[in-house]
Amino acid sequence: MNGTAMSRRRAALLLAAAAAHVVVICLGALHVHIGDEGWARRAVKYYGLLSGADSGYSFFAPGVGSTLSASFQVNGPDGNIAADVLETGVSREADIRVRNIIGMFRLEEDPRVRRSLVASWAGKVLARHPDADSVVVQLDTFELPSMAEYREGKTAGWKLDYRAKFMRRAELLRAQQSNGVVP
């Protein structure tokens, strides 16, 4: 077999693989369920899961949710202010998990549970900054307009959802005592 025949065979195999990938993408985008019976169907299903080709490309849908962002203003004893986030940058996967945990805030309706959730984040940030007196937690939503709203001139932007200040217990006691409040 010469090099030209091998190149044609290789090109044909690559073309077939690309076509198969496009078919799996189309099946995912059309939300076609091919079932689990037979090895070929299972192979297509697993390939779609592993490659992301079965995602359905829902991020183009009109009902895509808004992004929730958590930011932390760390207040030092000398009046200096630093910014922090929960994401560590250690790995993309870990940061996705952190953002999923932040997203749980929106799903929770009980204000006491919401406050506890945010307080735990504040505790994490205060642990990173042992000299800090307090931390202000702010949750903002990036709101995307619908296509109709966009055509009318509405633009995307951040909206404040939640803001709370958390202090170390010792700082809180000191502040209460200086204001004449006895705990």
Q: Which helix (H) or strand (E) holds 105?
A: helix 92-107
pLDDT of residue 24: 82
pLDDT of residue 84: 94
The edge-to-edge listing of strands for the beta sheet with 134-143 is: 81-84, 67-75, 134-143, 157-167
Q: Please say whether the beta carbons of 134 and 76 come within 8 A.
A: no
Q: Please say whether the beta carbons of 70 and 139 come within 8 A.
A: yes
Q: Which two tokens stand for residue 53?
A: 């080709």
* pTM assigned to the model: 0.60
* Strands in 76-149 per DSSP E: 81-84, 134-143
Q: Which residues contact 73 (CB under 8 A, 6 or more apart)?
A: 81, 82, 83, 135, 136, 138
Q: Which two tokens stand for residue 42?
A: 């299972």
Each residue's pLDDT, cut to its tens digit, for the chain (183 residues) gives 566 777 888 888 999 888 888 888 887 777 777 777 888 778 877 777 777 776 666 555 555 667 889 999 999 989 899 999 998 888 888 888 888 889 888 888 899 999 999 999 999 999 999 999 999 999 999 988 877 888 899 998 999 999 999 998 777 667 767 777 666
Domain chopping of the chain, boundaries? 3-57, 62-178
Q: Which residues are 12's β-sheet partners?
A: none
Q: Which residues contact 106 (CB under 8 A, 6 or more apart)?
A: 68, 141, 161
Q: Which of 139, 141, 144 is nearest to 158 (CA)?
A: 141
Pairwise CA distance, residues 44 & 141, whole Å: 37
